[in-house]
Amino acid sequence: MKTVLIVEDDRVYARTIANWLVKNGINARYVLSVGAAKEFITGGGTDLVLSDFRLPDGNGVELLEWMKKQGYRLPFLVMTGYGEIPGAVEAVKKGATDYLPKPVQTDKVLAVIMELLRGRNESTGKEWTCYRGKSPLAVKLQEYIRLVAPVDTLTVLIRGASGTGKEYVARQLHALSERADAPFVAVDCGALPKELAASELFGHMKGAFTGAAEDKTGMFAAANHGTLFLDEIGNLNVEVQMLLLRALQEKCYRPVGGKTEVRADIRLLAATNENLEKAIAEGRFREDLFHRLNEFPLRVPLLAECPDDIIPLAHFMLEAANRELKKEVKGFDREAYKKLEVYPWPGNIRELRIIVRRAALLAKDNWITAADIDLPITGRQPEEYTLSDERTERETIGRALEATGNDRKAAARLLGISRSTLYLKLKKYRLD
């Protein structure tokens, strides 16, 4: 169910609006100040903001500008009283969807709200109301994103393991940039056929090669005036890397088989989970392109490096799963919490999303239990371990023992392994 956040300092009127929306099948929550609104929106799950213009600690325009700076692209409606129309008009000029004279409890306003929520549900874009991490590494990443996003001349290389949310970081950078209202085009370089990669990126002219029956517009053209995000950049072949480097340096490109240069008015963002330095040493990646892409590197942390965010993220993903699956799961029981906290999450946020979605589907009596969360201790084989993996596993076992009061039988059950396997690992890590 979609959620409308009402920001209104008159508690009685705020409750009245909320009750009116709930009676009409819309989930509604209310807060009484700009500060409380910021905290609620940061927690995630908001789909539309209905804000009074005048508030005790600011006004609707200030809240709207804060949301834009933070990357929240939500429908924003301003409620106005008598004499506040000029301020509401200012809000619309600064990005508010519309302004609504009080009282707002009319069929016309209800239709506007439902249409905006329906449009948001059918949109193809990622929801911007994403949970923002509280762990130190997640907070540091957000600071860097806010710092570099407005600097259009910098190319950003987003590095991180699979499933950590590199595309979401790219979308944040786009949303906080001056190009936010222009296209965001994401390309999975790993899925591009090597022989057609140049054509997919730069387009081609009719007859340029066998099968080119007509002119084709490439991704560069599709992202014109906006942002082009090249995910898994290390998968591009060396020939296409050379063409990409030239396009970045000269700010123009030539479609395959074309004779005319086309101006490239884009901001390029790239991402990889590969060790590009190793690829350079092996001759698979151009060093000059690497330095051009790596003007401002961003590292997305592993979920295991942000343990304080696991449970809040699980709740955020449960809300999304409830909306998608039309469920009303209220939360996780205590044993489920423990199981989520001690697992090392080798698949990172993507794995957490999948597990929570499945658990929501299996949940009975509106609560997710430990039995609904089927997790092995790790998804990788022993030969794939690194020192970092072993350190994570040691910490995971330690947390399981702490959570169970050093009950080894309970800890083994929580970790999803046999007691004999746990004893071997205790001996290996000198925890016995």
Q: What CATH number is given to the structural domain containing 94?
A: 3.40.50.2300
Instruction: Tell me, rounded to whole angstroms, the distance of Cα 155 from its chain centroid.
Output: 20
- Region 208-233 average pLDDT: 85
- The phi and psi torsions of 222 (rounded to 5 degrees) equal -65, -30
The helix/strand/coil state of 188 is: strand
- Region 38-60 average pLDDT: 87
Could you tell me if 183 and 226 are in contact, meaning their C-beta atoms sit under 8 angstroms apart? Answer: yes
**Judgement on whether residues 294 and 308 belong to the same structural domain of the protein:** no
In a domain, 230, yes or no: yes
In sign, the C-alpha dihedral spanning 345, 347, 353, 355 is: negative
- Region 263-280 average pLDDT: 94
Q: Higher model confidence: residue 127 or residue 119?
A: 119
Could you tell me if 343 and 396 are in contact, meaning their C-beta atoms sit under 8 angstroms apart? Answer: yes
* Reported pTM: 0.64
For residue 382, what is the domain's CATH number? 1.10.8.60
Which of 92, 122, 152 is the last residue in one of the domains?
122
**Judgement on whether residues 81 and 153 belong to the same structural domain of the protein:** no
In a domain, 130, yes or no: no
Which of 133-147, 294-308, 411-425 is predicted least confidently?
Answer: 411-425
**Judgement on whether residues 157 and 281 belong to the same structural domain of the protein:** yes
- Region 169-183 average pLDDT: 87
- pLDDT above 70 coverage of the chain, percent: 90
Q: Higher model confidence: residue 208 or residue 219?
A: 219
Q: Give the C-alpha separation, 264 to 259, whole Å.
A: 15
- pLDDT above 90 coverage of the chain, percent: 36
Secondary structure of 11-77 in the HEC alphabet?
HHHHHHHHHHHHHCCCEEEEECCHHHHHHHHHCCCCCEEEEECEECCEEHHHHHHHHHHHCCCCCEE
In a domain, 238, yes or no: yes
- Region 275-303 average pLDDT: 95
pLDDT of residue 126: 40
* Six-digit token string for 218: 């490439």
**Judgement on whether residues 416 and 340 belong to the same structural domain of the protein:** yes
**Judgement on whether residues 289 and 147 belong to the same structural domain of the protein:** yes
In a domain, 129, yes or no: no
Strand duo 262-263 + 252-253: pairing: antiparallel
- Region 376-384 average pLDDT: 45
For residue 179, what is the domain's CATH number? 3.40.50.300
Condensed to tens digits (0 to 9), the pLDDT of residues 296-322 reads 999 999 999 999 999 999 998 898 888
Which of 73, 94, 122 is the last residue in one of the domains?
122
Number of domains present in the structure of the chain: 3
Cα–Cα distances (Å) from 360 to 231, 332, 388, in that order, read 30, 10, 31
**Judgement on whether residues 110 and 207 belong to the same structural domain of the protein:** no
Strand duo 331-332 + 367-368: pairing: parallel
- Region 97-123 average pLDDT: 78
**Judgement on whether residues 320 and 420 belong to the same structural domain of the protein:** yes
Beta bridge partners of 268: 228
When pLDDT is cut at 50, 70 and 90, the band that residue 392 belongs to is low
CA angle 305, 309, 314 (to 5 degrees): 120
In a domain, 208, yes or no: yes
When pLDDT is cut at 50, 70 and 90, the band that residue 131 belongs to is low
When pLDDT is cut at 50, 70 and 90, the band that residue 245 belongs to is very high
Structural domain that includes position 145: 136-299
In a domain, 348, yes or no: yes
Answer left, alpha or beta for residue 418, where phi above 0 means left and psi between -120 and 50 means alpha.
beta
Which of 87, 122, 157 is the last residue in one of the domains?
122
**Judgement on whether residues 166 and 292 belong to the same structural domain of the protein:** yes
Residue whose pair of structure tokens reads 């929306």 in the numeric block: 21
Average per-residue pLDDT in the chain?
84
- Region 126-154 average pLDDT: 80
Helix or strand holding residue 397 (H, E): helix 387-403
Residue 382 pLDDT exceeds 80: no
Q: Give the C-alpha separation, 122 to 63, whole Å.
A: 26
Residue 51 pLDDT exceeds 90: yes
**Judgement on whether residues 149 and 225 belong to the same structural domain of the protein:** yes
**Judgement on whether residues 30 and 70 belong to the same structural domain of the protein:** yes
In a domain, 128, yes or no: no
**Judgement on whether residues 385 and 295 belong to the same structural domain of the protein:** no
- The phi and psi torsions of 139 (rounded to 5 degrees) equal -65, -40
CA atoms within 13 A on the CB side of 291: 3
**Judgement on whether residues 318 and 385 belong to the same structural domain of the protein:** yes
Residue whose pair of structure tokens reads 């948001």 in the numeric block: 120
pLDDT of residue 217: 78
In a domain, 127, yes or no: no
Q: Give the C-alpha separation, 4 to 26, whole Å.
A: 7
